[in-house]
Amino acid sequence: MESLIDPRTTTFPHSTNMSSQVPADLRYAKSHEWVRLAGDVATVGITDHAQHELTDVVFVELPAAGRKVKAGESIAVVESVKTASDIYSPVSGEIIAVNQAVADNPGLVNTAPYAEGHFLQIRLSDPAEAAALLSPADYTKQIGA
Amino acid sequence: MEPTSVLKRTPLFAAHQKLGGKLIEFGGWEMPVQYSSIVDEHLCVRRAAGIFDICHMGEALVTGPGAEAFLNETLTNDIRKLTVGLGQYSQMCHAHGGTVDDLYVYRLAPMEFLLIINASRIDVDVATLQERLCASPHRSGVIFENASDRLGATAIQGPRVAGFIDALFVGPSLAGTTVNTASELKKNQIGAWNWTGQRIWVARTGYTGEDGFEVVAPAALVEDIWFKALAAGHTACIQPIGLGARDTLRTEVCYPLYGHELDEQTSPIEAGLGFFVSFDKGDFVGRTALLEQKTNGTKKKSVAFKMAEKSAPPRPGYAIFSDGQKVGDVVSGTQSPSLNLGIGLGYVPPELSVPGTRIEIEIRGRRFAAEVVKKPIYRKSVS
């Protein structure tokens, strides 16, 4: 399976979306997932940049709540018309809730990647991991926005 | 696919950059996979108009008094049916029936043929044709040219294209099929027009299931044709279309793609393309093997299917199951933008190829219900 953004794909600077949103209150993984922290619970989704690269999300496969995951482990699959991509957990912990709405309506990943289009929530087992994720500034630098 | 250190670029590379195309590697070429989105572009071709860069495809010219006889002994279809200005779909097979390539042949003049071949097969096709020509009794009457580098091509496809094509290619044809305007060309007809002093060819053919035209021109003219076509089709809402939508469009109408439905081990009979194999035209490479398959049947048969329950889209390489047994493989699969459900093409034993047969597609370890359906999966509504 291909990674979330095919490294063989080149997009020209003016067609990348300069306007990709990178909210200031989130942390980011290099593999284009975001994390919103509230106490020891992390909400996880994929970034605006990632959904723009994928376009046309037609299917989201979510894990079962209760599963224990390690950072870097595949936790979901998002499918665009063109390809299937793994979503990796940015943090370790237990999945305490999944977003059924995004499974029912995968287009939410495209229309509301930071809100209704989120994937799941994880209760952190190692809060230090979340602190080590990319800052909005670093992620912005990574995607060249 | 062999790794290539340097990807080839078509004469439209700068145009793709300008239009914001997202580029990927395809058959050794750096090609646009999409500009806006696959679904958007797909629906634009189904409802209005789209233009495709198909410069990566190969062109070969076979000319001379022996050209017809030579092509008839190496291709599957009956080339004698081609009058001047007409094209036909055909295959080139091995003696064992496997497919070297599938292609389009046009008769441009009584002794002049244009072959449009797959990008990924240019080298193999050219070598095969040259080898067969050297061994042919007609060799002294045939000139073969691989014109892939000096010619380029675009496809302009969609229900609204006929409405503006005459503004793009003005006046009557100069060779091939005689017509007063390009829009008078009928399906599979090809005619020549003049473009800034040079000859170009316009055929009413395509790979989308929609009405449309394909244009073959000297490489240096292609970019000018491309932008003039975008201008001519502006009011018809024309958009540039990438390879992503090209694949979903052809999958919906079950057109084969070499490397998926066809390969060296798969025959046109197995692929359900027997209509393009002529057994009454005399001998040709593969005839014995193909006739044996047609007469006695094959072990596998190409089928189209639709997913019958909510699932991820089927993809090439996924296994097909029946009664708990693996019975075949998916060779093409996607989410159909027209039907908004998972569709695909695959190979199964003949007894499972009847439309209505229930099969299962294994997606990441789970099996999902699907149903064999009649081809094409999508048929445009008759207006």
Residue ranges of chain B that CATH labels 3.30.1360.120: 13-57+150-251
Q: Give me the residue from B17, B21, B33 closest to A82, CB to CB.
A: B33
More confident residue, B2 or A55: A55
Contact state of B38 with A79 under an 8 Å Cβ cutoff? no
Mean pLDDT of B83-91: 98
Contact state of A15 with B313 under an 8 Å Cβ cutoff? no
CA gap B67, B326 in Å, rounded:
46
Give the closest-approach CA distance of B192 to chain A in angstroms: 36
Write down the pLDDT at residue A5: 58
CATH code, domain with A73: 2.40.50.100
Contact state of A56 with B37 under an 8 Å Cβ cutoff? yes
* Least trusted range by pLDDT, from A19-28, A118-127, B177-186, B336-345: A19-28
Contact state of A12 with B37 under an 8 Å Cβ cutoff? no
Token pair for residue B268?
Answer: 């046109």
Residues 6+ apart with CB under 8 A from B182: B165, B166, B168, B169, B173, B191, B193, B202, B213
**A80 within a domain of the structure (yes/no):** yes
Q: For B221-271, what is each residue's pLDDT tens digit?
A: 999 999 999 999 999 999 999 999 999 999 999 999 999 999 999 999 999
Range of the domain at A118: 27-129
The radius of gyration of chain B's CA atoms, rounded to the nearest angstrom, is 21
Token pair for residue A94?
Answer: 């237990």
Write down the pLDDT at residue A131: 87
A80 CB neighbours in chain B (<8 A) are 38
Q: Answer whether residue B2 shows pLDDT above 60.
A: no
CATH number of B299-383: 2.40.30.110
* Least trusted range by pLDDT, from B129-133, B175-179, B199-203, B378-382: B378-382
Residue B99: count other Cβ atoms within 10 Å of its Cβ: 25
**A62 within a domain of the structure (yes/no):** yes
Residues 6+ apart with CB under 8 A from A51: A57, A109, A110, A113, A117
Write down the pLDDT at residue A7: 45
Contact state of A59 with B248 under an 8 Å Cβ cutoff? no
A55 CB neighbours in chain B (<8 A) are 34, 37-39
Residues of B with CB under 8 A from a CB of A: 17, 20-25, 33-34, 37-40, 244, 248, 311-313, 315, 334-335, 337, 364
**A116 within a domain of the structure (yes/no):** yes
Write down the pLDDT at residue B27: 82
Q: For B129-185, what is each residue's pLDDT tens digit?
A: 999 999 999 999 999 999 999 999 999 999 999 999 999 999 999 999 999 999 999
Token pair for residue B16?
Answer: 């793709």
Write down the pLDDT at residue A20: 86
Taking CA atoms, what residue in A is nearest to B341? A58
Write down the pLDDT at residue A14: 36
Confidence band, pLDDT 50/70/90 cuts, at residue A12: very low
**A6 within a domain of the structure (yes/no):** no
**A101 within a domain of the structure (yes/no):** yes
**A141 within a domain of the structure (yes/no):** no
Given a contact cutoff of 8 angstroms between Cβ atoms, the answer to whether A16 and A121 are in contact is: no
Taking CA atoms, what residue in B is nearest to A76? B364
The CATH number of domain B58-146 is 3.30.70.1400 = yes
Given a contact cutoff of 8 angstroms between Cβ atoms, the answer to whether B313 and B342 are in contact is: yes
What is the total count of domains within chain A?
1
Give the closest-approach CA distance of B158 to chain A in angstroms: 21
Write down the pLDDT at residue B126: 98
Q: For A42-84, what is each residue's pLDDT tens digit?
A: 999 999 999 999 999 999 999 999 999 999 999 999 999 988 9
Residue ranges of chain B that CATH labels 3.30.70.1400: 58-146
**A87 within a domain of the structure (yes/no):** yes
Mean pLDDT of A96-105: 97
Residue ranges of chain B that CATH labels 2.40.30.110: 299-383
Confidence band, pLDDT 50/70/90 cuts, at residue A144: confident
Q: For B263-313, what is each residue's pLDDT tens digit?
A: 999 999 999 999 999 999 999 999 999 999 999 999 999 999 999 999 999
Homologous superfamily of domain range B13-57+150-251: Probable tRNA modification gtpase trme; domain 1 (3.30.1360.120)
Contact state of B38 with A61 under an 8 Å Cβ cutoff? no
Give the closest-approach CA distance of B341 to chain A in angstroms: 9
